[in-house]
Each structure stands twice: as structure tokens, then as C-alpha cells.
Copies of this chain bind each other. A is one copy, B any other.
Amino acid sequence: MNWGSIDRYAKSLIKEAGHKIRVSFFSTIDIDSKADANDLVTNIDRDIERFFISRIKRDFPEHRIFGEEGFGDEIDTLDGVIWMLDPIDGTMNFIHQKRNFAISLGIYLDGIGMLGYIYDVMNDDFYHAAKDEGAYYNDERLATLENTPLEEAIIGVNASWVAPNRRIEHMPIAEMVHKCRGTRSYGSAAMELAYVASGRIDAYLSLRLSPWDIAGGMIIAREVGAIATNMKGEAPHLLGQDTFIVAKPGLHDEILKNHILLK
């Protein structure tokens, strides 16, 4: 397996997809709701996923693809090479803001993250990493993260997890919100993972993410020393939805130990 060559191929494909997305703003965007009214998808999400799949199937016929829009393969094992793709992570932002969304891609070999990419399309900001070779923000190598105590941390957490909800005890989360320096919420897991990896925020957590939301970002985050797990402290499930927390090392422990109580 020539991973250097796959890396160059993936980068080129992502940049081409980004261009297609930027151009899409000049055409009509059709909006559907998927599982529920707040889970939106557009013809552009679908077109971009199909674009990736047609290219990957042509050029790497033995690889499998696990994509948000479901045009890829049925994936129930992590054997072999799997491209885990979210063509537009942050579709609601894509529709309403025309910014703050990302292409997210992680390429896994037998469940091990080999290559990770997050492309903030509108800012033309490209985050990428290869296993054991470090992570990059455009051409700049990202520094290894140093720990930040909770009191000085900026945490990516959506208000819905601070309100009473059926997945997590909200009061320990509310305590975390008061104790930390500040919270942010951007509406794209991939972008928030990229922000953790590049030190713009110190942690990010969510109670319900899919493999394609985190597959690329986890590889990037790992290369700068961030810890990414589910909220039981285990490796996140890569075949279905799971809880998720990524943070600087000591901060990950502190949040998980003191502020996470799953229902």
C-alpha cells in the first residue's frame, strides 16, 4: 500500500470537491429533511458524496467507502481500507450561512486511522495528518498540544447538552460550563475537531456523532497529542453512532472524571 500516493490523491480529490461546493452556491440548492426536520440534507451533499465514490471506486476498487449520505458500501466490519466520508459536515451551516462547514475524510486500515483530512471549504483551510507523521494546518506543522486546566479552557459544547436531555446528566455539564473560561458552538463536529487540533479551543464534546463526523478529525487530533474517546473513555465506535469527547490530555481526564455522567 503506497500511503504517500493515496495521501496526494485524497488531497487532490478533496480540493476538487471543495471547488464544486463553492460553485454550487451559484446553482439551486434543494433541501430535504432526513431523519427529522432538523437533520437536513441537500442535493449538494449527495452530489459531492457521489463524486467521491465514483472516483474512489474507479481508482481504488478494492477500497470500501462509508459515507454519510449512504451511497457507499454497507459497512459492518473495519477490515481492509475504508474511506469514512462526510461530504459536508455542518449542512445546516452550509444552507443558512454558506460557511462554517467542512469536508471530513478519514482513511482507515483494519480500523487504524492512517490519513485524516478536514477541509474548511469557504476559508480554504486544510487540516491534514498521516499516522505517525504529524498534523498540518495548510503547510504549517501543528504543535503538540500542552495541557490547559479547565479554568482556562474554551470548550466546544452545544447548549442542548446543558439543557436537560435524555443522554447525559446536565448538571455536571452546567458546572463545567461555569468553571471553564468560555464555551463555543460552531455546528460542525469536524470544524470543532480541527479547532481542538489547532489549539483554537481546548476540548469538544457531543453526545451523538457518527463515524464520518469524527473519522478524519480523530487522526489529526491524535497526531498533536489530543485524546479522543467516547464518554466511557473507550475508543469511539466506528461502525455506528457514539458519544464523543476530544481534548488536551489532562483536560480530557478532568472533564470525563468530574463532569460526564451518562444516563
The residue from B98, B123, B157, B200 contacting A159, defined by CB atoms under 8 A apart: B157
In the complex the two chains form, what is the Cα distance from A163 to B186 in whole Å? 19
Q: Which residues of B contact A151 (CB under 8 A)?
A: 37
Contact B201 A183 (CB under 8 A): no
Copies of this chain in the oligomer: 2
Specify which of A173, A175, A182 lies most central, judged by the most chain B CB atoms within 10 Å of its CB: A182
Residue of B nearest to A202 (CB): B96
In the complex the two chains form, what is the Cα distance from A79 to B154 in whole Å? 40
Q: Does A174 lie at the interface of the complex (its beta carbon under 8 Å from any beta carbon of B)?
A: yes
18 other contacts beyond A92-B182, A96-B154, with CB at 8 A cut-off? A92-B181, A96-B199, A96-B200, A123-B123, A154-B187, A159-B159, A159-B162, A159-B183, A160-B178, A162-B162, A162-B177, A163-B173, A163-B177, A164-B174, A183-B185, A184-B185, A184-B187, A186-B186
Q: Which residues of B contact A201 (CB under 8 A)?
A: 96-97
Q: Does A51 lie at the interface of the complex (its beta carbon under 8 Å from any beta carbon of B)?
A: no
Given A159-B162, A159-B177, A177-B163, verify A187-B195 contact (CB < 8 Å). Answer: no
Q: Which residues of B contact A152 (CB under 8 A)?
A: 37
Q: Does A38 lie at the interface of the complex (its beta carbon under 8 Å from any beta carbon of B)?
A: yes
Chain A, 120-155, CB within 8 A of any chain B CB? 123, 151-152, 154
Contact B162 A163 (CB under 8 A): yes
